[in-house]
Amino acid sequence: MTVSSSPLALVTGGTRGIGAGTALALAQAGYQVLATGLTEDEVAATPAHAAIRHARLDVTSDAQVAAIVAACERIDALVNCAGMIQRGGKEFEIEAFRLTIEVNLTGTMRMCLAAKEKLALAKGAIVNTASMLTFHGSAYAPGYSASKGGVGQLTKSLAAAWAQDGIRVNAVAPGWIATELTKPLVEDAARSAPILSRTPMNRWGDPSDVGGAVLFLLSDAARFVTGAVLPVDGGYLAV
């Protein structure tokens, strides 16, 4: 796999939802983007843009992560959007809990470690994906909440450890974003109403809203920003 001299952003989970919105925002800003998805169906959903390529990747696989990083000539930006949540109380079962942690938290660390050398050469930056549940718990998804809390602390830890290598590490914490995952909530007025009433901007977020925040954190405008967890929530946490 070869890339042009344009900066390269590797976006895990970049084929749908928040990841897809981020991949598209980066492509429109001049990055060459390699967006990954877990399955063929996810890869097929990759946003159509001349600067976006796609590949399958399971972030729980050491071998697959090593291979995709090795295939990149350079990595200027790593955006970790790959993640999962298991509903219906499944995360109270230990195997489901373990898998959620493995994907969301360990998978993020696995990607960061694998890409570190190339990011250091490029003096690049990492943006991880945290959540509102980085800041408060969930009675329904303990694995997801624990993993996203961990992503927040991992982000701060790597920022402190890797600043000497010229790598900035930040995270975005999306609020209620309209995606295929949240579509049932968006379309259910009774369930959507309390979400909107808690959100001062009184609307659902769009994946491009998160993409804009990621662009800022990767840009030179944020050159003195590292270790930050930036809420992208329409003011949800402010209330």
Alpha-carbon dihedral angle through residues 41, 42, 44, 47, given to the nearest 10 degrees: 160
From first CA to last CA, the distance across the chain in angstroms is 47
Question: Looking at 31, 140, 144, 236, which residue is catalytic?
Answer: 144
Residues 206 and 165 sit within 8 Å (Cβ to Cβ): no
With CA atoms as reference, report the closest residue to 72 among 46, 34, 124, 28: 34
For the question of residue 236 being annotated catalytic, the response is no
Tokens of 212: 């804009």
What is the phi/psi pair of residue 80, to 5°? -95, 100
Residues 57 and 82 sit within 8 Å (Cβ to Cβ): yes
The b-or-e profile of 10-19 (16+ CB within 10 A means b, else e) is bbbbbbbbbb
Task: Count CB atoms within 10 A of the CB of residue 42.
Answer: 22
Catalytic residues: 144
